[in-house]
Amino acid sequence: MNGAESGTGSAGLSALWELLAGQFDGGFGGGFEGGFSIWLPTGSALVLFGLLGMLLAASILRKLLAFNVMGSGIFLLLLALRPTGPDGVADPVAQALILTGIVIALAATALGVRLARRYFELTGQTELPEDRDTARDD
């Protein structure tokens, strides 16, 4: 692929572009020299769980849990896509991005929890009205 540029997002974008352009030949299924990474499917499965939870769960808090699980899946993918350095330490750029992401996810979660509490105070409900018919429990 392209040479030694230090951009962080460009690798993912160009790979996605190659995938969409229909020319993903070598990398598919293998990926790394060190063999198959188990963290890619793990991260994708976490994203799947999170998506399902956000779409199908009724309770707002459960949706927030799912949001956090999905975020963790994304972070896992982000780090697993980066080969570790010679000393076994992960890519510092990816680590910095994930650190930022964890803090932002917490801020978003806290905001969501506060809105959910306010909503509960006003209405006595823990689910949004459009979800209420699919409610399973609190």
Partner 1 sequence: MIAADLLLALALLLLAAAALLARSVQIGSVLFIAFGLVLALVWVRLGAPDVALAEAAIGAGVAGALLLLAASEFESRRSGSASARAAGPRLPWPRPQRSRPRWVLGALALACAGLLLLAAQAIEPLAGAATEAVAHALPQAEIAHPVTAVLLSFRAYDTLLEIAVLLAAVVAVKAAPAPLQRPLPHDPVLARVTALTVPLALLVAVYLLWAGSSRSGGAFQAGAVLAGAVLLARFASLPLDPQSHLTRPPLLALGLAVFILIGLGAGALAGAALGYPAGWVKPLVLAIEAALMVSIAATLVALFGGGKAA
Residues 70 and 46: their CA atoms lie apart, in Å, by 6
Which residues inside 70-129 make contact with partner 1, applying CB under 8 A? 72, 75-77, 79-85, 88-100, 102-111, 113-118, 120-126, 129
Closest distance between partner 1 and the C-beta of residue 112, in Å?
A: 10
Residues 74 and 39: their CA atoms lie apart, in Å, by 11
Which residues inside 28-67 make contact with partner 1, applying CB under 8 A? 28-32, 38-53, 55-57, 59, 61-62, 64-66
Closest distance between partner 1 and the C-beta of residue 22, in Å?
A: 11
Q: Kindly state the tokens that stand for 111.
A: 């905001």
Q: Kindly state the tokens that stand for 8.
A: 């962080």
Closest distance between partner 1 and the C-beta of residue 33, in Å?
A: 8
Count of residues engaged in binding partner 1, rule: CB under 8 A: 101
Closest distance between partner 1 and the C-beta of residue 111, in Å?
A: 5
Residues 16 and 10: their CA atoms lie apart, in Å, by 10
Selection from 103, 39, 36 nearest residue 73 by Cα = 39
Residue with tokens 């806290």: 110
x/- letters, 3..22, toward partner 1 (CB under 8 A): xxxx-x--xx--xx-xx---
